[in-house]
Chain A
Amino acid sequence: EAGVAQSPRYKIIEKRQSVAFWCNPISGHATLYWYQQILGQGPKLLIQFQNNGVVDDSQLPKDRFSAERLKGVDSTLKIQPAKLEDSAVYLCASRRGRGWVNTEAFFGQGTRLTVV
């Protein structure tokens, strides 16, 4: 089966500009996650979707970050305006169901964002 697709792979923008990342999860996966991974650190959960509804967005900086998952399939994550500290890899992951029985999270290759 096809994996989690993310685009673009790399993005360089100036501070105060806006940027959007796209994620196409594995077909049939109801749960989708967006993570921010700053260099040398572990992934930090930004938002979790169950189909097209938000389950958890407690760590999403809502003054500048937004995410949507229209129709419960593809998802986009937007930053507007970007700050230097937003430089990171943004990872998307998906899995079946909501609990963890007989399922695992599959990750995309991520988008590396550099804000200059």
Chain B
Amino acid sequence: AQTVTQSQPEMSVQEAETVTLSCTYDTSENNYYLFWYKQPPSRQMILVIRQEAYKQQNATENRFSVNFQKAAKSFSLKISDSQLGDTAMYFCALGDNQGGKLIFGQGTELSVKP
């Protein structure tokens, strides 16, 4: 069975500082993808960043970067220069490339404080 675990229910960070959200996962597949999604109060789920498991290089998207540790099955998200608009729920997700399944962790509620 595939699982995604986020052990930090809530995090807070001061504006302009850096925060790291943790995620671990379990899968028996070799070919999979990992994602971080942002869900603001409006409920619209938005893709923040993605990582292909076969790529060793960590993905980056502007202020967002990941630390992908395949052997440890760890996939953390770093947000640099945090902005008030980053306040949201963040979900880690695992995509199975064979069946196309997409499963989510429990989420981390991030608050960026002025």
Report the bound CA distance from A111 to B75 in whole Å: 30
Task: Give chain A residues whose Cβ lies under 8 Å from the Cβ of B50.
Answer: 100, 104
Complex Cα distance, B42 from A110, in Å, reads 10
State in angstroms the CA–CA spacing of A110 and B40 once bound together.
13
Asked whether A45 and B99 contact (CB < 8 A) given A89-B43, A104-B47, A107-B45, the answer is no
Given A42-B91, A43-B91, A107-B44 in contact, is the A48-B103 Cβ separation under 8 Å?
no
Contacts of A45 in B (CB 8 A): 101-104
A109-B103 in contact (CB<8A): no
Interface string of A102-116 (1 = CB under 8 A from B): 001101111010000
Q: Indicate if the CB atoms of A55 and B99 lie closer than 8 Å.
A: yes
Q: How many chain-A residues does the 8 Å CB contact rule pick out?
A: 28
- Contact mask for chain A residues 80-115; partner B; CB cutoff 8 A; 1 contact, 0 none: 000000000101010001111100110111101000
CA distance A51 to B114 in the complex (A): 46
Alpha-carbon distance between A89 and B107 when the two chains are bound, in angstroms: 15
Check A50 against B103 for contact (C-beta < 8 Å).
no
**Interface digits, B89-114 against A, CB 8 Å rule (1 contact, 0 not)?**
00100010111111111110000000
Alpha-carbon distance A35/B105, docked complex (angstroms) = 13
8 A Cβ contacts from A12-60 to B: 31, 33, 35, 40-45, 48, 50, 55-56
Query: Bound complex: CA of A40 vs CA of B103, how far in Å?
Result: 16
22 contacts between A and B (CB under 8 A): A33-B102, A40-B107, A41-B106, A42-B4, A42-B91, A43-B45, A43-B91, A44-B104, A45-B104, A48-B99, A50-B100, A97-B100, A100-B32, A100-B33, A100-B95, A100-B97, A100-B100, A104-B35, A105-B47, A105-B102, A107-B44, A109-B43
B contact set with A: CB distance below 8 Å? 4, 6, 32-33, 35, 42-47, 50, 52, 91, 95, 97-107
The 9 closest A-B pairs by CB, nearest first: A107-B45, A42-B104, A100-B33, A98-B100, A100-B95, A99-B97, A42-B106, A43-B104, A110-B43
